[in-house]
């Protein structure tokens, strides 16, 4: 049996999307434009919600936090990806790798919880309209958001500590867009059973619990919509949930593919493409999803633009 190189690895070399070389510059420009669009769209959504009194409702309060998390989420991944493309691969220390993985897990977990909370908010609005104001009070909204941040921190901390108790040796190349758990497991030289259990626990508790809340909420919402007699009333009620459902499908669909696939310890081209969807594309699309399909946001945007034009006039 050939001996394995057990040289201890203290830094990693990220190489995703560096080949073929002729694609480096186009990909760099594409991802840079995605990042700028993400920052502009989500920051604009936050300012719009804060500046328009009509959007001072629980739904938009949660949406503003989703936009804030998406800004942080994208900023954790995309600048590192741009450095990899610009430098044709970049070296990252184990400490920086651990920090990036922690921040990724932290913000991804909060995204999951916020999407579940937003589903519950829609349930309360559609199924309990007379009690909505008493259910979704300011105190309750802050409590739910705080719970999402605390739970996200705990989940990310446990996963990071567990992952980086592994010993890494031999090849230090990570052919992935950031320091995620599946490609790191591939570089481990010890028993990674515990770390693989962590992936399963994350997949079996965090995501399914959030998905269950979303499914149950929308089951009651659909039942309530079916009881509405007019077709126009049904369409209007469902339209308030369409944006959220689109965001849920895009975010959870890609995460489920990554974390429930059989070969979690491998890194393939398909994995990298899917990882781009949930780390780059989804944060960029969320403001578009909520603005293009939401009448109140559209009106707030028109109002903000009209104010801007009026301010420029002499």
List residues bridging with 139 in a β-sheet: none
Q: What is the largest CA-CA distance in the chain?
A: 82
Identify the pLDDT of residue 19. 66
- 73: helix, coil or strand? helix
Residue in 209, 213, 210, 237 with CA at minimum distance from that of residue 223:
237
Q: What are phi and psi of 174, to 5 degrees?
A: -110, 105
- Measure the CA–CA gap between 9 and 93, rounded to whole angstroms: 9
- Measure the CA–CA gap between 205 and 226, rounded to whole angstroms: 31
- Measure the CA–CA gap between 83 and 190, rounded to whole angstroms: 30
Identify the pLDDT of residue 269. 63
* Tens of each residue's pLDDT in the chain, 314 residues: 344 445 667 788 887 775 667 777 888 899 899 999 999 999 999 998 888 888 889 999 999 999 999 999 999 999 988 888 888 878 888 889 889 999 998 998 999 999 999 999 999 988 888 999 999 999 999 999 999 999 999 988 888 888 888 777 777 787 777 888 777 877 777 777 777 777 667 666 778 888 899 999 999 988 888 887 777 777 777 777 778 888 888 888 877 776 655 444 444 666 677 778 778 888 888 888 887 667 777 777 777 767 666 656 65
Identify the pLDDT of residue 144. 96
Identify the pLDDT of residue 314. 56
- Measure the CA–CA gap between 19 and 22, rounded to whole angstroms: 8
- Measure the CA–CA gap between 256 and 76, rounded to whole angstroms: 21
């Amino acid at each position: 049996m050939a001996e394995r190189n057990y040289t201890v690895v203290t830094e990693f070399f990220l190489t995703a999307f560096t080949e073929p070389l002729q694609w480096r510059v186009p990909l760099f420009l594409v991802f840079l434009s995605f990042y700028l669009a993400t920052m502009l769209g989500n920051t604009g959504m936050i300012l719009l919600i804060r500046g328009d009194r009509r959007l001072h409702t629980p739904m938009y309060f949660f949406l503003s936090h989703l936009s804030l998390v998406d800004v942080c989420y994208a900023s954790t991944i995309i600048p590192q990806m741009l450095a990899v493309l610009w430098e044709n691969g970049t070296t990252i220390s184990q400490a920086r790798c651990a920090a990036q993985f922690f921040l990724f897990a932290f913000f991804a977990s909060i995204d999951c919880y916020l999407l579940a909370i937003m589903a519950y908010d829609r349930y309360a609005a559609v199924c309990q309209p007379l009690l909505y104001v008493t259910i979704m009070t300011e105190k309750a909204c802050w409590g739910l958001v705080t719970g999402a941040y605390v739970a996200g921190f705990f989940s990310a901390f446990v996963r990071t500590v567990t992952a980086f108790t592994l010993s890494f040796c031999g090849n230090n190349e990570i052919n992935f867009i950031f320091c995620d758990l599946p490609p790191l497991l591939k570089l481990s030289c010890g028993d990674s059973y515990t770390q693989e259990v962590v992936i399963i626990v994350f997949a079996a508790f965090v995501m399914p619990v959030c998905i269950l809340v979303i499914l149950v909420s929308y089951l009651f919402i659909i039942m309530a919509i079916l009881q509405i007699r007019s077709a126009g009333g049904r369409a209007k009620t469902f339209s308030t949930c369409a944006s959220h459902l689109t965001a849920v499908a895009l975010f959870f669909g890609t995460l489920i593919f990554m974390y429930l696939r059989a070969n979690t310890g491998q890194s393939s081209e398909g994995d990298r493409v899917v990882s781009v969807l949930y780390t780059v594309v989804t944060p960029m699309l969320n403001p578009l999803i909520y603005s293009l399909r939401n009448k109140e946001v559209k009106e707030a945007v028109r109002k903000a633009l009209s104010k801007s034009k009026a301010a420029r006039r002499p």
